[in-house]
Structure 1
Amino acid sequence: MRDAGYQYVWIDGNWAAPTPRSSAGDLVANPDQFPNGLKPLVDYIHAKGLKAGIYTDAGPYIPGKCGLGSHGYYQRDADQFAAWEFDAVKVDYLCGIAADLDPKTVYTEFAQALRNNASGRPMIFNLCNPVTSPDWGNYPQEQQSTYSWTYAPAIAQSWRTYTDVGFVGEIKFKDVLRNYDANARHPEAAGPGHFNDPDYLGPELGMTDEEFRTQMTLWSVAAAPLLIGSDVRKLSQTSLGILADPDVLAINQDTAGIQAVRVGPAGTTETWVKRLANGDRAVMLLNRGDSPTTLTTKASSVGLSGDRFTLKNAWTNQVTESAGTISAAVPAHGAALFRVGPATGKPGVPHVVAGLPQVTQVGGDAVPAGAAPLVAGGDQARVEVTVRNDGAQPVFAPQVELTVPAGWTSRPLGKAPKLLRSNHSATFAFTVTLPATAAPGSAALTGKTSYKVIGKGRLRQETATAVVVAPAAPDGDVVLSHHKWISATSGWMSPTVDLSVGGSSPISMLGQVHPTGIGVASPSAVRYYLGDKCSRLTATVGIDDAVRNVGPDGGTSTFQVIGDGRVLFDSGVLTRDDTRQADIDLSGVRVLDLVVGDGGDGGYNDRANWAGLNATC
């Protein structure tokens, strides 16, 4: 990782002794972890050609509440860190908020102490105020991370722009998007030597490889500091390859230090552009949605003029030429990243986009736009692959072969065109049939596209889409929470069967304990496959009594039961003092979604329950 450009080994919290200061007032490392103190560790890091970072808090040490704080000792601690030869300091605000300090005041004081350290040692200052509303409760604007941009650029090299991106093993893609969006509010605050910080990178801490690749893409166009929150010794080659990709890192480390901005409206799919030092543009096509799609923008929309453009795919290294359209097939929760600039010389290879296979019909019924592809044993589905030519030159004899799992069948529909002109597309359709015994889980549909280019011969692309094969539908009178779901999400922690979210207490509402159900936190969605086999669902919904132990804020949610996209039940906004009974007709429902919203006031302390989910099937 050092050779890829990662420089800092940063020690985060919990490095100090249980009593963090000596009688003289100096910070003391935990003797069990660091029997010889921190200096030998720093020397070891430096000997590896790396730099060392350390952690403290702007607030005071509060026994039993805040384990490490520098308030009242700023200059002493800055001198100590410099004497230990640290190169960077992360300053948190957990103890600061506990002591009700003003972040701008204390961070400015700490920055001055670092600049004035007795050794004259330069040290990077990472300002880490993670306090946000409503995630943490209600706090004045000036105490929140979203306010740091107003003062941090003048005193720090980087500053956190939102709360933590997630927990170890529980980093979720939706929270990566949340932090990216917060980080994008003030791109004007960033520049060479001072950057917005959306928090750590989280490979193999809860996301899929595709989702982590997207996080790396997001952080790169944001010109964000790249700090790895995982144990790099245990990472897969896939994760290491994502972290060390030279073209992606070059975009992140571009000397102009400019942060990407969105071009066009916000939504499920978006275009973001980052102007690079040489005048090129880094263009990100982002798919926040749950199904694959082809995304398109124009070179003119990202600030480029002309009629020929070179596109370098930062992830695949493929170099093509476009007549002005920038497009890519983007998987669910994925992002494409191109470096785009003017083309010169002889015409290049046309930019041809081989679309990801898409399930457009199941059993003759259209799949709703944006829905995650879902099939079941015995189903017959229509699958389409669209091939698009964005180059200035035509391509000839385009072909697509669709490969499917063993035991499935794929039959092409229609004939292939003889050529594909500039700025034209062709859709190749297939009928895919699953055996009745198709195993539940994830299955790959792979499109193998080829076409002829004059002077280049036949070129090939391969794209794949993962589809979900549903488990067997419920049968008889069942406790639905005990049936295997297709997918389940929770705004905090993970959905918990027969317990309140987090798993530490039984489901309890208004003092009544419910032995079965699902505990979640808003926003949440739990999906089941019913296969038109069920007729009725009953449940009690409401806020778990555990919110009363957290505090008076939050604890409001909405509950919806949705069948095949139709709302079958809507609770309205419920507080900790409400429950609702649901008795729902499930006739004809193939896919059932249990959806919890935040009630319009954010997700803080929203511990919601689906209790007594009993289905008649």
Structure 2
Amino acid sequence: MAAALTATALGALCLTAPSWAAATPVPAPDAGAATPAAAESDPAAKPYMGWSSFSMQVYSGNGQWITADQLIAQSDAMHEKLQAHGYEYINVDAGWNGGVDEYGRPTPSETLYPNGLQAVIDHVHENGQKFGLYFIPGIGPEVYEADLPIYGAEGCSTGDIAAQPLQQADYWDIGYKIDFSNPCSQKYIDSIVDLIAGWGVDFVKFDSVTPGSGIGDLSLDARDDVKAWSQALDRHDIWLELSWALDIRYADYWKQYADGWRVDWDVECYCAHDAMTTWDNIARLFSKAAQWWRHAGPGGWNDFDSLNVGNGAMDGLTRDERRTAMTFWAVSAVPIYTGNDLTNLDEYGLELLTNDDVIAVNQNGVPARPVSTETDKQVWYAPNADGTVTAAVFNLDRTESDIEVRLSDIGIEGSATVTDVWSGEELGKIDGGYVAQDVPIHGSRLFTITPAKGARLTVTDDDLRVSYDGTWTRNGNQEVAAQSQPLTVKVTDAGGEQPPAASVRTVALNDDDPAISYQGSWNHSTNRGLGDHQDDVHYAEKNGDAVEHTFVGTGIDYVTETHESQGEVDVYLDGEFQQTVNAYRAEGRGAQQVLYSVDGLPNGTHTLRLVKKSGSFMLLDRLDVRLDSLLVADTALFDKSAPTPVEVGLLRDGAELTAIAHGDDVLTAGEQYTVEGRTVALSAEYLAAQPSGDLVLDFRFRGDHRDDVHSSTDDGASFEVAFRGTAVEWIAPMGPDQGEVEIYLDGKLVDTVDTHADSRLTQRSLFTTEGLKNGDHTFKAVQVSGDILRHDTIEYTVKKVK
């Protein structure tokens, strides 16, 4: 978010200039299907680079910091220091306006710009740069009440376009909601955009966009405003950037109408004259990026907010943290716009902001994805169209550590060479992986990994190189996740009865489980002695703070404490609001209370989101996830006095069983166990050699690659993948609802494959060919029969990576 003091409210279109104090924002908390390729003429073909005024407005404590002299100085400093490296936007945030004209359109402040804002814009353009301004949804009350004529729209006036009854339009309640069912409303937006386009504005930041901006219940909904502004701005090729903390449930909508969208709260710490940001405000973006990365690409970009790494005396970050932020912005392919005073960058800040190899990673436009976020020693990677892979390691922990990049985790089978992007140093050839040694606290490393001749590369169904024709859905309960289930074998020599079958199992996740994502300013309280599960809880104090968990299963319980200090919590499941639950208890304290429970979900991937609504505190103690059983029974009996193989019934196809393990020891298939159909026989010899007591064996089942697939039920649906290599293999699911698929290579029909199977199977090799001429190729699959087409991965063999 940013201070909403623009004279458009259209948010706050006022007849007199609004004051800074009246629009100071609520401080941000301290913690907190593939995109089609865009034409090169699209201004959003790559993430933009530049500068934004808001961080300095906050840091200086002066919302009116954005004077003509300051903006001209920033433009000149960018021209001198950064422009040769791709920085080109000078974006002015809230507070630039001074009122409105006779048509209700914003006019620049005469105090800030005594020679006119046009002189500043012209200076920016003379420096070969682009100029941006700030707006918010709605129409200012004064403009509505003045009932002014709308420019170029005969019979339309500003008194006619507010929704009735009057409604709030923005987070700060500055303006009234506009009724876009009235054609005059679009003409009003058009008139404003035509005006600023005439000034030479190249960029619009549109703030307080909902759902988002801390409000997700549709009590505020600015989607009509976004559409109207998008349509008006498109006519002038003006960039539209949405802000702030956009709701991911509407990602497709933001992608349709905008060039970029903020994914989280402000990066600023709101500590004027002390610091611009904090490490916590950087670190909380990792969980957001893990959710958003697949929604970005040429034509529309995730936005992390200002990259404030230019001056160590004011950034609020250590040197390692500053480089980590630059690395994370680069690999995430988000806009790089700094908020520092460009006239006062230090030497290290300039080194960070002008490393052309790091900038090239960003401008390549492939958002990195995490191998896993269930650790503080994270590996993120981006598979590039030329066959190389960009990999970054991040140490989010509190101690120095080695971090390994395993080639298999980033889609490479074979050997490769490694280059340090920051230094340009060639680090040599690797097999299996590379260990980045002594990564400092909150530090990072950035590499280019180039596969060797003969290596195999994996292109996933989320890759930007995959284009889909028809209506395709990611997951939607069509996916199968890799799962495991323990079987407890009671080893005895005293006989006994076989235990009963079990069909549903429950897994309890403590509040500190790394699979649980906290958003906002959460704290961890341990050793409370109040009856908590594992004697600890997580708690938040700010309304809007949220906790989220994505799970595979059929049900989940939210378990917490009830107490007079607590209040309401909004519950969302798979992006849809379910209900508001209340943890308030007038007297006493209730430990481990189930506040929300759901069962009977399709056995697939689901997301539970809990949002604090009221009360002094919101707590999470644990989440109980219910999963369908993979085994007919989860216990068995083996009697040493009458040793016979123990048969275990499977509820998935036996071909999906990948291993059986006892601790770190993996049993030998064909010797210690055999599989026939849906029955596993554990050998009597193996069991007899085990000590008496409970033997826990982990049955591990394969899932779709990365536990996700794309699918389409459209007749004739297809997908296409571009690759450069000499061999290609399509690996995807089979199932009883699937049928024949035509395979095309370089536009020619080469095969028809049958993807039907009696049960749902994962990661099956459906087509393979070798001996292709080394060069660029396309693989295309087209549904011929069956109810659905599913796609998982393409693997190809490289001869040489350019």
The one-letter amino acid of 2:362's match is N
> Does residue 417 of structure 2 align to residue 310 of structure 1?
yes
Aligned to 1:410: none
For the 8 Å contact 1:59–1:93, the answer to whether it is kept is no
Offset of 1:342 from its aligned partner?
3.2
Aligned to 1:523: 523
Residue from 354, 357, 363 that aligns with 1:253 = 363
- Closer, same or farther in 2 for the Cα pair 1:109/1:575, shift >3 Å? same
Aligned to 1:30: 109
Indicate the SS of the match to 2:269. coil
Aligned to 1:300: 408
- Closer, same or farther in 2 for the Cα pair 1:95/1:124, shift >3 Å? same
Aligned to 1:278: 386
Aligned to 1:341: 450
Query: Where in structure 1 are there 5+ consecutive unaligned residues?
Result: 132-143, 345-490, 493-520, 527-542, 558-570, 580-599, 609-617
For the 8 Å contact 1:287–1:335, the answer to whether it is kept is yes
Name the CA distance, whole Å, in 2 between partners of 1:219 and 1:336.
Answer: 13
* Highest RCO, 1 vs 2 (Cα 8 Å, sep ≥ 6): 2
Q: Deviations over 1:491-526 (max 9, x none)?
A: 99xxxxxxxxxxxxxxxxxxxxxxxxxxxx743899
Indicate the SS of the match to 1:185. helix
Aligned to 2:348: 238
Aligned to 1:263: 371
> Does residue 204 of structure 2 align to residue 89 of structure 1?
yes
The one-letter amino acid of 1:13's match is A
Aligned to 1:39: 118
- Closer, same or farther in 2 for the Cα pair 1:602/1:171, shift >3 Å? farther
Q: Deviations over 1:179-204 (max 9, x none)?
A: 23213313332121211112221224
Name the CA distance, whole Å, in 2 between partners of 1:233 and 1:605.
Answer: 44
Aligned to 1:156: 258
Q: Deviations over 1:31-87 (max 9, x none)?
A: 110123321111100111111111111233357956689955311211111011111
Aligned to 2:91: 10
Q: How does 1:388-467 map to 2 (within 5 A)?
A: none
Indicate the SS of the match to 2:204. strand
Offset of 1:341 from its aligned partner?
0.4
> Does residue 226 of structure 2 align to residue 107 of structure 1?
yes
Q: Deviations over 1:242-274 (max 9, x none)?
A: 1111111111111xx221111245211111111
> Does residue 312 of structure 2 align to residue 197 of structure 1?
no
User: How much is the aligned-residue C-alpha RMSD, in angstroms?
Assistant: 4.0
Offset of 1:578 from its aligned partner?
10
Offset of 1:317 from its aligned partner?
2.1
- Closer, same or farther in 2 for the Cα pair 1:94/1:288, shift >3 Å? same
Q: Deviations over 1:183-234 (max 9, x none)?
A: 3313332121211112221224322221121111111111111111222222
The one-letter amino acid of 1:5's match is G
For the 8 Å contact 1:59–1:94, the answer to whether it is kept is no
For the 8 Å contact 1:59–1:69, the answer to whether it is kept is yes
Q: How does 1:70-81 map to 2 (within 5 A)?
A: 72=185, 73-81=188-196
Q: How does 1:318-337 map to 2 (within 5 A)?
A: 318-324=425-431, 325-329=433-437, 330-337=439-446
Name the CA distance, whole Å, in 2 between partners of 1:178 and 1:555.
Answer: 12
Name the CA distance, whole Å, in 2 between partners of 1:306 and 1:102.
Answer: 50
For the 8 Å contact 1:164–1:199, the answer to whether it is kept is yes
Aligned to 2:249: 147
Name the CA distance, whole Å, in 2 between partners of 1:207 and 1:300.
Answer: 34
> Does residue 138 of structure 2 align to residue 59 of structure 1?
yes
When structure 1 is superposed on structure 2, of 297-306 and 103-112 the one drifting more is 297-306
Offset of 1:152 from its aligned partner?
1.5
Name the CA distance, whole Å, in 2 between partners of 1:87 and 1:555.
Answer: 34
When structure 1 is superposed on structure 2, of 72-81 and 215-224 the one drifting more is 72-81
Aligned to 1:288: 396
Offset of 1:555 from its aligned partner?
10
For the 8 Å contact 2:369–2:381, the answer to whether it is kept is yes
Offset of 1:95 from its aligned partner?
9.4
Q: Deviations over 1:147-205 (max 9, x none)?
A: 34221112211111222223342522222222232133133321212111122212243
Indicate the SS of the match to 1:227. strand
Higher Rg? 2
- Closer, same or farther in 2 for the Cα pair 1:524/1:603, shift >3 Å? farther
- Closer, same or farther in 2 for the Cα pair 1:556/1:22, shift >3 Å? closer
Aligned to 1:442: none
Q: How does 1:506-585 map to 2 (within 5 A)?
A: 522-523=522-523, 553=543, 575=566
For the 8 Å contact 1:159–1:195, the answer to whether it is kept is yes
Task: Give TM-score scaled by structure 1 length.
Answer: 0.52
Offset of 1:236 from its aligned partner?
1.2
Q: How many equivalent residue pairs? A: 364
Name the CA distance, whole Å, in 1 between partners of 2:326 and 2:138.
Answer: 32
Aligned-residue identity in percent: 25
Name the CA distance, whole Å, in 2 between partners of 1:163 and 1:104.
Answer: 19
- Closer, same or farther in 2 for the Cα pair 1:555/1:95, shift >3 Å? closer
Query: Where in structure 2 are there 5+ consecutive unaligned residues?
Result: 1-81, 143-169, 179-184, 454-518, 527-538, 548-560, 568-583, 587-608, 618-802
Name the CA distance, whole Å, in 2 between partners of 1:554 and 1:101.
Answer: 14
The one-letter amino acid of 1:239's match is G
Q: How does 1:602-613 map to 2 (within 5 A)?
A: none
Aligned to 2:660: none
Name the CA distance, whole Å, in 2 between partners of 1:37 and 1:101.
Answer: 35
Name the CA distance, whole Å, in 1 between partners of 2:562 and 2:421.
Answer: 46
Residue from 214, 224, 237 that aligns with 2:334 = 224
Task: Give TM-score scaled by structure 2 length.
Answer: 0.41
The one-letter amino acid of 1:261's match is R
